[in-house]
Each structure stands twice: as C-alpha cells, then as structure tokens.
Chains A and B, each alone.
Chain A
C-alpha cells in the first residue's frame, strides 16, 4: 500500500529540500513553519499489462467489445497522443505502442485492411520518424510508416473537414480521415487531469478554426482550474464539441493512467522525500548535482534529454469517452491528489527541465512561464494554493534561448509581441490573427517540425489566469534578468532575496507553501 500525499511543516529537524531548477536542482532551506506539499507515493503498477489491455478492449465501458466493432472492408483510424505526453518520455515499450498492437491484432484477425494511424499532434510540431517509432513500437512502425502512419496536419485544406457547430456556435473541424472513418480509436496517456476525455479528439485532431473557441484568454480566465474539468470552461467547450462529434462518428476511447515513478534509478532521489534518503541517495544526489554543475551546457542538456521514465501503468480503460474518462480521472486523482488546509501568501515552485512542448528541444522563457503560471499554478481543485494578490516564487534560470526549428514563432512572439505588451487580452486582440495566418509559420508547421504560429499565444493565455490572480507578482529565482523582465516579471538572485521582495507585497510574516513537484501533485485546497 503506497502512502498518500501529505503536507510537511518545516521545523528544526527538516533537512534542506530539493528544488528543481531547469536542467539542475538545488537544496534549499525553507523558513520555519513553511508548508511543503508532497505527492502521494507511486502506486503499484498493473502487473500483467497485456492482460489488462486485453481485458479493457474486451470489456469496455458503455460500448460493445472492440472485436464486435471490427469487420472486413471497414475504415479504421487509430489516433494517439503525441510527443507532449508523458513527461519525461516513457521507457520503451511505450504504452501507446502496446495498446495499438493489441488493437491491430484484433483488426488483423477481423480482416480489416484499411487502417490509418494518426498522431494527434493538433497544432504542436510534427513528430519525427524516430519519435513516432519510439511511441508506437518497431512492428507497428514497420507495417505502416510512412503511408498509413502520419502526423495530423491541421493546415491541410484537403485533410480537414468541418463537422458543424455546437449549440454555442463553436466550429468543430477535425481531421477528415478520422471523421470519415467507420471507427476512430483514440489511444491516450492521461498524465494530468487536464488531458483526455473530450479534449482528445476535438483538440488533438482539430484545427485553429476550431481551437480558437476555447484556446483564448476569456476561456482561460474562466477555467478555475483547467486541471479540474468540471470547473474548466476549456473543458466545457471541448465537451460540447466532443458530444457533437460523437453524433457523427463512432469513437472508441482507450485511456491509460501512469503512476508517479517519474525519474529513473540514477535520479531515484528525485522520487523520494528528503529525510528518507539513504546514504546512497545522498551520495547520488551530491554526485549528480556536482557533475551537473561542472558539465558544459551542451552535455548537461544531452543528459537531461536522455532521461526516460520508468512509469508504471495504473489503469487501462476503454469504451465510450465520458464513461472512460470518469474512471481515468479517478485513477489520476488516486495518484496525485493531496488535501491542503487553506491558502498561503507565497507559493514556491521548482520548475523542472521539461514541459509538454520542449521534448527533445529547448525550454524557452515562454514555456517556462507556461509551466509555472499555466501548469503548476493550475494543479488545484477548488481554490489555488496561493491567495489572490499573493506572490509566486519560481526557481528556473529562464535562459534567453529558443529552439530555432521547433519554436520559430516563439522567437518573434518574444521579440515583437512581448516587447510591446504582456497583457494577454491586448496580445490576443492585436497579434493573434497575424501570427495564426502567417504563411511561413504554416509552412514550417506542415513541412518542418515547428509549432504552429499561434502556439506561443496559447502558452501565454495558459498563464493568463495566474497573471490576473497574482497581479503579475511572480518572482524568478536565478532567472535571466532581461528575459524575465521582458515577460513582465521580476528576477531575484536568491531565494532569500525573493522572499524579501515578496514581503513587500504580502506583509512581513507570510504563509509559505512549497509544492514539491514533480512527481506531480494535484492539490485540493479547503
């Protein structure tokens, strides 16, 4: 039985605590009385994964068993989550590949010839062949690449089809092949509560025309939080679209959940609580930290890029989307939920080296912002961990650095848009259209490996709720001053300085909470 998450109160006996900061980590002493939120221990993984998958496919929720949906001569499309999940990438065999193999095995037995596999990369960059091969496995890749195993292309005029509009006038436009299939099987990895459900098909296979209805500042301000689907306007809109789609198209959803075995053995100390570190853990931590600090930046990045996590699967559910997602969310909560008593004045976070949009890439300042103010800030149910008007202190070096192939529009967004204003609403009104329709960004999205031109806007909107809620009182410990200032925040040279600066805002004896993550924790604040 693994232990639930818990909230530590820092006292004299508390050792310095580990804080992530980009491609590295530090040990940080916290003031007495500060609270530290730890995620629950990793749940035990499903022992016989193949049996679990088979069971899920043969005993789905709210649907006939998968073999009954398969027949010769049908059009079958299998879509699956892209490189943004899970984080860090999973040790092979990837759960997506495992499930797809099972689905194909059934399809082969049923004599289905017309099969297409689509990476549901939405407006994300395309996955490279080697990344796809890693996700789906060698056998699937060999059988389908490159004709019948493709990236979704939201800007292909012939490849998209407009299904209709929801009762609120939201356009639903998705991948034509998926829409015209007799059966669409979606294979997901539900890392955080935001993922999955009706977000999978309408967004993963959607277009800008469709996404703009929920990927906007208004929706993000109304999503409190977007990690809590029932209270998220984003998910409300996606669900309306998903229900409309379900009327047009048979969708068989397969969702999986992972445990908290986020870091491999060499970094095992990152999964543990500091006072439980063995001598070996301490030695490991020290060696890793020192080696990391001494290593040239290039090597450091390479080491972090090669981290693959030994995630275990905690559940596989299949069938009708909503019935499945209910069970999936329960599994995610079982692994991540921590109850916390009351809000605090200051929220402290250590931002790791990876976010959904920089796998095999560079974490640029906009993504740092999105990870901190978007993802981690929103890891709550009910109310945020920090009070309105409070301060958030983030640890990350925030280097002024961009991946030229993956993030071309980010460079321009940072140079042009943020230089003019950092207000999400103003940015949306003045610049979004221009970037979304820029022919070059579209060209790179379709033919190179670039995120769509509009993607940096979404990253900024993701943080809109936190920016408004905290009145932009966000401090970056160790951040590049120019880059942090460009984003409208402030940099501090040390945690102590940051606390001093924060006291100017929240008073002299603030309540401090440190969210010790990753591994991921979802807080329910009462």
Chain B
C-alpha cells in the first residue's frame, strides 16, 4: 500500500525549524522529513481491532507544525517513528468488528488511550476523558498520543490503517465524505467551546479563523449562550466564513485590539515597549492559532477573572504577566472525549456528527490531493488561509 511516512531526520528538523518560517516553500519541498513509501498494510493488532481503508485524510495544523519542526520537543517521547501522519479520517471498514460490519463508513476518534492499548482503564479513561489518558505510551502499542503519531497503527495519509473498536464511530449515509472528514476537528472545537463555557451573554474572542477557529465559532453558537463572538481573521475568505458561521464581529489582526476595546468599552493601555493591552475586555478568549503572538493577544484582551482557552498547540513566548495580574484562568482543550450535554453524557463525536450534518460546511474542504502529489498538498495547506481554503485533504484511493 501507499503511504506518506514521517521519519526521523535531525538535519531536516533543524533546517525546517530555522528556515521554515522564512521560506515556507522549503517545508513542503526538500526539507520535509516526509517520504512517499510502499509498505505493508498494518495488521489488526488483536481483539477489537480492524483495518480501515482511508477515504479522506485531512491535513491538520498540528501535522504541519510537526513537519515544519515547530512542535515543542515536549511531545518527542509521545510519538514513535517512523509513522504515517493523519488523524482526521473518514474511511470504510475492511473487517467486521464488534457490531460494525465490513464496509461500514466510519470516522476515527484518534486518541490511543487505555482501551486500544489493551490496558485496564486509567482514571481518566474510566471517566470517559480519553484525551487525558495517562498511559499514552504503554500497553502493546508503540508510544503515540494519537493515530497518526504511532508507528504501529498507520494514519490517514496512507491507504489503510488499523483502528480499535473504541475509536470508531459509524457515520450516517447522508453525511458526505467531505463533511465526515471534518467530524474530528468539529469534535475538538466542541470540546474547546464546552471547556470555555462562557456565561450567557458573555463576549467571546476567537483568535484565528483557520479550521479550528471557524469551527470554534460554530461550536460556540451551537452549544453555548455566548453573546458577541468576535473573530480575529487574517484573510478575506476567512472573514467571510467566520461571519457565515455566526461571528458578530470579524476583524483583521491589526485592528483587533481597537475593535475589542470599543465593543467591550475597555481602557486601552500602552506599555513602554510591546503591544498595547486592555483593562476590561472579553470574558473568554480562545486561542485557535497557537503562536506566541496569538496567545499574547488573547491574554491582553481578556478581562480580569476571565478565561483563556488554548485550543491549538500553544507556541512559545507569550508574556504571562496578565495571567497573574488579571487573575486569568488559562486552560487547555486537547482533542475530545466525553461531554455533559443537555441530552446526557455522550462522546463528543455524537454532537460533532450532528454539527457536520447541519452546519453550512459546503466548500470547507477546499482541495483534495492524491498521495503522490503530497508536496503540492502541503504547500496548499501551508498557505491555506491566503489561498482562501480551509481544509486540504488526501484521498489515498486514487493512485
């Protein structure tokens, strides 16, 4: 089978890390520690495992960060090389497994918690919060926080992978592949919105209008009573979509602080050096970019006692003074798990499937590439915002 494989290459890692910011073309080109390989299909790893043929595998921001060496080395013991990336997956079952017949279309909950690893559930897994699993490197699987970071399972950027029954969610027939591949990021966004839990009528800031930011707007509108939702979006297409998804105000990066100040009637102060900040501001901010400056913007514009949610993989270098001085709650929202919803406790994927069915998501998957054209695909994904695209995906079925 064909797959894209991420391998360990210190020189490429260092080069991508230092040059990638300045010459993004290099990341998709010669510097990517990635290669297209023909390798054996992964075998089911025991009871409860099944093979899945990938129909679409999305390219996520964290994948791009991994390739361009921007990820903190904190995660290095949590992956096993070489692996096939891709954790936003819609596919069909090649084997029968516990109540799901062969041929069922499924989406994948990528976290590799205690159940797939064949372990007794840890405390977090027992409560359903699989994303907080503490045994993420143990059991009979190689280390790997998710499918797509583990050497044994394969991933969405290959034609076949294996998945455990606990990871699989069947999707209704009327959900197209293009929408189904968005279920995983939608689930993350719902998880983030529920972690953010704005008070009814509270103003919420969403920094960034990539997939995560846009979906966060959807989730905030669908699952919370947030008042004004203000979105900082760099590119015109993103601004347009943010409005369509329910943002009350959309603004470019440069004018963000003035808009926030005006809408929240805050005071704006300018330190002797560095960017200005607000006294007052939004109740909750979601950083959906994950750079130092996006987090800094969120921290500087959240009112005292407010909440800042790290939705993307956080970047280094934000000044934490406001956290202390404004007594902010800073919390993370990683992947998805089980949520308390009005209808009872359920996997985050259930409402995500619902949202994927109902939300105006047509055209969100803006481009689909075959695996052999992975350099173009990555190049497109790296410039997605500028090019007016939200999501780029691989279709490994076409050679």
Contacts and interface: CB of A to CB of B under 8 A. Distances in A.
Contacts of B270: 404
Contacts of B266: 440
Interface string A414-446: 011000000000000000001000111001000
Contact of B267 (A412, A434, A439): A439
A416 B262 contact: yes
B78 interface: no
A438 B262 contact: yes
A415 B258 contact: yes
Interface string B237-268: 00000000000000000010011011001111
B265 A412 contact: no
Nearest to A408: B268
A179 B393 CA distance: 73
A440 B263 CA distance: 12
Interface in A204-245: none
B267 A411 contact: no
A166 B262 CA distance: 34
A443 B267 contact: yes
Contacts of A440: 261, 265-268
A467 to B, nearest CB: 25
A3 to B, nearest CB: 51
Interface in B124-178: none
A415 B255 contact: yes
A416 B268 contact: no
B315 to A, nearest CB: 27
A203 B270 CA distance: 32
B209 to A, nearest CB: 18
Contact of B265 (A408, A411, A416, A438): A438
Contacts of B259: 415-416
A498 to B, nearest CB: 30
Contacts of B267: 439-440, 443
Contacts of A439: 265, 267
A408 B266 CA distance: 13
Contacts of A412: 258, 261-262
A404 B270 CA distance: 10
Interface in A109-143: none
Contacts of A415: 255, 258-259
A456 to B, nearest CB: 13
Majority secondary structure of chain A interface residues (helix, strand, loop or mixed): helix
A443 B269 CA distance: 11
Contacts, number: 24
Interface string B76-92: 00000000000000000
Contacts of A408: 268
B278 to A, nearest CB: 9
Contacts of A443: 267
A443 B265 CA distance: 12
Nearest to B262: A412
A415 B259 CA distance: 9
Nearest to A440: B267
A434 B263 CA distance: 10
A416 B270 CA distance: 20
A434 B258 CA distance: 14
B163 to A, nearest CB: 49
Nearest to A434: B262
Contacts of B261: 412, 440
Interface in B283-325: none
Contacts of A434: 262
A282 to B, nearest CB: 45
A201 to B, nearest CB: 32
Contacts of A416: 255, 258-259, 262
Contacts of B258: 411-412, 415-416
Among A404, A411, A412, A440, chain B packs the most CB atoms within 10 A around the CB of A440
Contacts of B265: 438-440
A295 to B, nearest CB: 28
A416 B261 CA distance: 12
B65 to A, nearest CB: 32
Nearest to A437: B265
A115 to B, nearest CB: 35
Nearest to B268: A440
A443 B280 CA distance: 14
Contacts of B268: 408, 440
A287 B2 CA distance: 73
Contacts of B255: 415-416
A408 B261 CA distance: 12
B267 to A, nearest CB: 5
B276 to A, nearest CB: 9
A355 to B, nearest CB: 23
A438 B266 CA distance: 8
B282 to A, nearest CB: 15
A443 B268 CA distance: 10
B283 to A, nearest CB: 18
Contacts of A438: 262, 265
A384 to B, nearest CB: 36
A193 B266 CA distance: 40
A415 B261 CA distance: 13
Contacts of A404: 270
A412 B259 CA distance: 8
B314 to A, nearest CB: 29
A404 B265 CA distance: 18
A411 B255 CA distance: 10
A439 B270 CA distance: 16
Contacts of B262: 412, 416, 434, 438
Nearest to B270: A404
Nearest to B266: A440
B232 to A, nearest CB: 14
Interface string B332-370: 000000000000000000000000000000000000000
A408 B268 CA distance: 10
Can you list the 7 inter-chain pairs with the closest CB atoms, starting with the nearest? A440-B267, A415-B255, A412-B258, A439-B265, A412-B262, A440-B268, A415-B258
24 contacts: A404-B270, A408-B268, A411-B258, A412-B258, A412-B261, A412-B262, A415-B255, A415-B258, A415-B259, A416-B255, A416-B258, A416-B259, A416-B262, A434-B262, A438-B262, A438-B265, A439-B265, A439-B267, A440-B261, A440-B265, A440-B266, A440-B267, A440-B268, A443-B267
Given A415-B258, A415-B259, A439-B265, 11 more contacts: A408-B268, A411-B258, A412-B261, A412-B262, A416-B258, A416-B259, A434-B262, A438-B265, A440-B265, A440-B266, A440-B268
Interface of A: 404, 408, 411-412, 415-416, 434, 438-440, 443
